[in-house]
Amino acid sequence: MPHRMHIFDSHAADVVLGYVRERLEMPEAPLDFPGADAELRTALTGLINDEGTNVDEVLRRYDEVLSRAVISADSPRYLAFIPAAPSKAALLFDTVVSCASLQGISWLEAAGAIAAENQVLRWLADLAGMPTGAGGVFVQGGSAGNLSALAVARDEGRRRLGNSTARVRIAVSGQTHSSVHNALHLLDVEPFEVPAVNHRLTGDALARALEQDAHPETVIAVAATAGTTNAGIIDDLAGLSKLCRERGMWLHVDGAYGGAGLLVESERARYEGIEQADSFIVDPHKWLFAPFDSCALIYRDPATARRVHSQDASYLDVIHIEDEWNPSDYAHHLTRRARGLPLWFSLCVNGVNAYRAAVTAGVDMANRAAAEIAATSHMELVREPSLSIVLWRRKGWTLADYQDLQDRLLKSQTAFVTPTSWQGEAVGRFAFIHPNTTIEMVREVIDACR
Ligand SMILES: Cc1ncc(COP(=O)(O)O)c(C=O)c1O
């Protein structure tokens, strides 16, 4: 007799899949609200008990209370941070990854899933212009991708210095993402701060900073950004890649948000030099329309990553067969969900042109929103939009006014818009990812700023 938890319950399946279907059928996910701790605690009270709670009751409390206290990142009205906009196909296939317990640890256990994930990684490597030998793995998110890549950069740098414990540094700028700083802290690597030029890390500025440094040989890598989170700025990848080649430094490109912009014809030239990257990340859960959580991490020479990340254990000897691709060897993880498959499925069924169009829609919307703002008398642009991000100012406002706007917009379910800071000033920010965001939605925010 199978255990009762492992017997198919058609009622539970109907209830849960019905909920899933309802969510998928929504033309626009509701934004919903921040949560109140007391109300959430009450909703959760008693649900976990010795005998279990009826599925209808658990789902009811989830639907009526818990889910309403999650601001939907996939609403086209979600314009804060970096939104999400998973395609319907990607969402559907995510349920397959869960239902089939699809893992992607080793070729021995999961060759089919890994082959499909690698097909997508190859597509991304081609998009960046990386060589045929490039490859990697899907990890949980950009932070995990940056950490894993920079661990390899550090060890490669030390190897080149001939000292496996050398104090080394990695070049960053003031715009580098916080996850890179966290990674450097965890790796016990000091940041080598380079003054940005017009908010970009450039090859010339790095060369100058190295010239003025007493120990430039200890700067073994550069963490460049292709699309800063705050403003969508792309570093001088052409200049940085040239300098990295000349000096034997590792070039890491953090394209967690902006890597998808490679699909946009008008933006393409700004990425020149990315093809020289030693490691590159892009998050499908950001601008490539995959569900959470997914970051594609690609190395120019995957052997460098294997040297750092392969785990040795007697019970794992069986998976370490030459020429077999084990995703667990390319990042700081072992067990992993085959989280590249939702993107793979969606790319297969929708085609690359749909992706090009949907990413381009974000850039177009940023330009349209910027034009609308520039045409008002009460608002102005802080800077020209870059990729799909617009920084704007409501004349005369302080941080408290932007926070009040955030609250008002959420209350009316108009939009989710959070302030940021730019050169010490509180400003407004839009990040456009969802291709179904309309200019009318943006106008509602502009009107609310009057
Ligand atoms: C440029 C950049 N790098 C890294 C990250 C971290 O990615 P994640 O949140 O998936 O860990 C982000 C997140 O917004 C980002 O924008």
Question: Cβ(415)–Cβ(434) under 8 Å?
Answer: no
The answer, yes or no, to whether any atom of ligand 1 lies below 6 A from the CB of 287, is: no
The string over 249-272, giving b where at least 16 C-beta atoms fall within 10 Å of a residue's C-beta and e elsewhere, is bbbbbbbbbbbbbbbbeebeebbe
**223 vs 315, residue with greater confidence:** 223
Q: How far is the CA of 229 from the centre of ligand 1 (A)?
A: 7
Q: Which atom of ligand 1 is nearest to the CA of 146?
A: 4
**Token pair for 164:** 């496996």
Average the pLDDT over each of 234-243, 251-260, 278-287, 309-318 and give the range with the smallest value. 309-318
Could you give the CA distance from residue 268 to residue 188 in angstroms, rounded to a whole number?
A: 35
Give the phi and the psi of residue 163 in degrees, each rounded to 5: -145, 110
Please tell me what DSSP assigns to residue 311. P
| Residues 390-426: tens digit of each pLDDT | 999 999 999 999 999 999 999 999 999 999 999 999 9
For residue 424, count other CB atoms closer than 10 A to its CB.
5
Q: How far is the CA of 341 from the centre of ligand 1 (A)?
A: 20
Q: How far is the CA of 179 from the centre of ligand 1 (A)?
A: 7
Could you give the CA distance from residue 136 to residue 327 in angstroms, rounded to a whole number?
A: 7
Q: Which atom of ligand 1 is nearest to the CA of 293?
A: 10
For the chain, what is the mean pLDDT?
Answer: 97
The answer, yes or no, to whether any atom of ligand 1 lies below 6 A from the CB of 283, is: yes
Q: How far is the CA of 282 from the centre of ligand 1 (A)?
A: 9
Could you give the CA distance from residue 428 to residue 376 in angstroms, rounded to a whole number?
A: 15
Fold of 95-350: Aspartate Aminotransferase; domain 2 (3.40.640)
Strands 279-282 and 295-299: what pairing?
antiparallel
Could you give the CA distance from residue 24 to residue 319 in angstroms, rounded to a whole number?
A: 38
Q: How far is the CA of 128 from the centre of ligand 1 (A)?
A: 18
**CB-based contacts of 280: which residues, under 8 Å, 6+ apart?**
125, 128, 130, 252, 253, 255, 259, 274, 297, 298
Q: Which atom of ligand 1 is nearest to the CA of 225?
A: 1
**Token pair for 388:** 């799909």
Residue 437 has pLDDT above 90, yes or no: yes
Residues in the chain: 450
**CB-based contacts of 265: which residues, under 8 Å, 6+ apart?**
356, 360
| Residues 285-327: tens digit of each pLDDT | 999 999 999 999 999 999 999 999 999 888 888 888 878 999 9
Would you kindly state where each structural domain of the chain is located, as residue ranges? 9-74, 95-350, 352-448
Q: Which atom of ligand 1 is nearest to the CA of 258?
A: 1
Q: How far is the CA of 180 from the centre of ligand 1 (A)?
A: 9
Euclidean distance between the first and the last CA atom of the chain, given in angstroms as a whole number: 67
The answer, yes or no, to whether any atom of ligand 1 lies below 6 A from the CB of 256, is: yes
DSSP reduced 3-state for 245: helix
The answer, yes or no, to whether any atom of ligand 1 lies below 6 A from the CB of 145, is: no
Instruction: Select 352-448's CATH number: 3.30.70.370, 3.90.1150.170, 3.50.50.60, 3.40.50.2300.
Output: 3.90.1150.170
The answer, yes or no, to whether any atom of ligand 1 lies below 6 A from the CB of 290, is: no
Positive or negative: CA dihedral 434, 437, 443, 447: negative
Could you give the CA distance from residue 347 to residue 295 in angstroms, rounded to a whole number?
A: 16
| Residues 79-107: tens digit of each pLDDT | 999 999 999 999 999 999 999 999 999 99
φ/ψ bin of 387: left (φ > 0), alpha (ψ from -120 to 50), beta (otherwise): left
Q: Which atom of ligand 1 is nearest to the CA of 295?
A: 10
The closest of 123, 98, 105 to 296, measured between CA atoms, is 123
Could you give the CA distance from residue 162 to residue 246 in angstroms, rounded to a whole number?
A: 19
Q: How far is the CA of 289 from the centre of ligand 1 (A)?
A: 15
Crossing angle (nearest 10°) for helices 302-309 and 142-161: 90
**CB-based contacts of 448: which residues, under 8 Å, 6+ apart?**
405, 408, 409, 412, 414
| Residues 110-169: tens digit of each pLDDT | 999 999 999 999 999 999 999 999 999 999 999 999 999 999 999 999 999 999 999 999
DSSP reduced 3-state for 220: strand
Residue 1 has pLDDT above 90, yes or no: no
The closest of 376, 386, 390 to 427, measured between CA atoms, is 390
Q: How far is the CA of 361 from the centre of ligand 1 (A)?
A: 21
Alpha-helical (H) ranges within 301-423 are 302-309, 341-350, 352-374, 399-411
The residue whose C-alpha atom lies closest to atom 16 belonging to ligand 1 is 229
Distance of CA 249 to the CA centre of its chain: 25
Q: How far is the CA of 231 from the centre of ligand 1 (A)?
A: 13
Within 47-189, strands assigned E span 135-139, 169-172
Query: What pLDDT does residue 429 have?
Result: 98
Could you give the CA distance from residue 15 to residue 81 in angstroms, rounded to a whole number?
A: 33
The answer, yes or no, to whether any atom of ligand 1 lies below 6 A from the CB of 142, is: yes
Q: Locate tokens 């008693």: which residue?
A: 46
Mutate to test the pocket of ligand 1, among 173, 199, 283 (most ligand atoms within 8 A of CB): 283
Query: What pLDDT does residue 324 have?
Result: 92
The answer, yes or no, to whether any atom of ligand 1 lies below 6 A from the CB of 177, is: yes
